[in-house]
Structure formats: C-alpha cells, structure tokens
Chains A and B, each alone.
Chain A
Amino acid sequence: MTLWWIGDAVLLVVVLPVVVYLLHGVLGAARSIVPSVRAIAATAAAGSKDLDATALLLTTQSQVEQTVAGVANYGGSLDVIIDDAE
C-alpha cells in the first residue's frame, strides 16, 4: 500500500509535469513554425508574381536582335566610308 502511494506521488509530482513540459515544448515549436510558413508562402507568391514579366524577355530578345542588326548595318557602312588606320 505504501509503495502504491509512493507511485501515485511520483506520477503526480514527476511524470505529469514532465509530460506537460514536453508537450508544451512541442506545441510551442509547432506554433512558432506557422508564421514562418505564412511568410514563406507570401514571399513565394510575390516572387511568382514578379516573374509575370518574364514573357517580356521575348520582346527584349527581339529588340536586341533588331538593334544589333542595325548596328551591324551601320558598322558596315562606316567600314566602307572611313579609311582604315593602317
């Protein structure tokens, strides 16, 4: 009987506080992740939205091609007009 009482005391004084402490730690860690995940989700969504202008790169590519072609034509004309250095 005495050992049983001692076991009950250990259960209430040691085991229960330890269980509560550990579970509280797990819950705190899980709750601390939530705002970080929300921030990551918002950042990823913003990053995806920023890339909406990626399609304009095709326009940039086309314009660069036209510009370089114009420069090439102009350079060819200069090559004919201007004397060489040597």
Chain B
Amino acid sequence: MVVLAIGPGTVTVVALLLIVLALVYYLVSTILSLSTITKGLDEVIASVTEIIEKSAPVNDVVDAINGQLDAGVDLLEGLLVKKAGLVDAVGLVDGLYPGAAAAGFRNFPESTSIEAPRVSEVYTKGTLTLARLGREAPIAAANPAGPVLRNVEGGSLAARLLYPSVRHTAPPELPRSPVIGTDAPVQYEQRDDIGAPRKRLPASRVGGG
C-alpha cells in the first residue's frame, strides 16, 4: 500500500528534483566544456597575436625586395634591348625561355606585338650564351646573310664531319677484311719450331764461365 501513500504532491517534487538534477548535470558539463574552449581560444589568441607581430614588417621588407628586383629587371631589359635591339632581344629571351615573347618586356609594351625570331631553332643555347657576350663572340664572325650554323632538321652531316672517320664520306671501295681459315686465298706455312722441344744452351754459357 505504499503506492497509495504517494500523493500527487510527492510525484511533483520527485519530478522537479529529476529535472533539477538533469539541469545541474548537463549545465555543469557544458560549463566545463566552455571553460576548456575558453582556454583553447586564449592559446589561439596568443598565437595569432604572435603571428600578427611577426608578420607586421614582412610587407615593407618584401616591397623593398620587389623594388630592388624590379630595378634589376629594368636594368637588364634596357641593356639587352640597347645592345641587341628590340627584335633580337625578344628572340633571345624567347629562345632561352620558350613562350616568354608573348609576355614581352615590361618597359617595352611594343615588344608584345613583335613576332619573335626563332633564334633557338638556328643556334644552340650555348651559341646564344656566346651571343649574349657581345659581338666579338664566334657567332658574329659568320655572315648573318649566309646559311645557318646549325640546321636542326637536316644538319646531321655537319655534326658527323667533326669526327675522323671516312665511312660517312661514302668512298667507292674500302679495303676488305682478310679471309682466314683452310679455304683462305693466302695460306701460311706452319713453323717447325712451334711445339718442338726447346733448344738447350751450351753448359759453359749456362754456368756463367
């Protein structure tokens, strides 16, 4: 008859107690989690503050470096165009860095509309390097109106002529290789001393006198 002793007021109190207990458990757990989050965010804020402090001068320094490099690029572009001419300069740059002619030179806007001469198809990169050294380079010794120094499509003979061989010159007849064996046209007599006992020297010479 215990059930009958429990009235609606008791049930209300128990229900409210359960609700309060649930509130306490979950709210305390939430508070602990929020405290952990706060500590983590404090660490984040400290690290972000360090990042801001460390990266503050980067912009100015990088701007200064870019300014110096821009000055260097302007200098080299100007020198190259002055010495080689705008068209050849574009060809040289495009030969060393294929596709660079489309970008052109920064200080020469008209360089983007120039059809770059195909310097790299005529001269090797080493020759281009020599060409950049000046007009005293070997490339300048040849007549610019003459044939190219290296034909990439049909210039293999020019390279083969560098080697001391006569076969690539297609002579009418080369000396044939010798024929050996029993059917060889030239037979040699066998020497008698081969396989015979070795001759003994006189005892006086062996003994040393």
Contacts and interface: CB of A to CB of B under 8 A. Distances in A.
Interface residues of B, number: 50
B29 interface: yes
Contact of A1 (B8, B40, B135): B8
A48 B48 CA distance: 7
Contacts of A1: 8
Q: Tell me whether chain A's interface is mostly helix, strand or loop, or mixed.
A: helix
Contacts of A71: 72, 75-76
Nearest to B54: A51
Given A15-B19, A44-B48, A38 B12 contact: no
B11 A12 contact: yes
How many of chain A's residues touch chain B, expressed as a range? 35 or more
Nearest to A85: B85
14 contacts: A7-B8, A11-B12, A16-B19, A23-B23, A23-B25, A23-B27, A30-B34, A33-B33, A34-B40, A38-B40, A41-B44, A48-B51, A82-B134, A85-B83
Given A33-B33, A48-B47, A60-B65, 18 more contacts: A7-B12, A8-B15, A11-B19, A15-B19, A16-B22, A19-B22, A20-B26, A27-B26, A37-B36, A44-B51, A48-B51, A54-B58, A61-B64, A68-B71, A71-B75, A79-B79, A84-B82, A85-B84
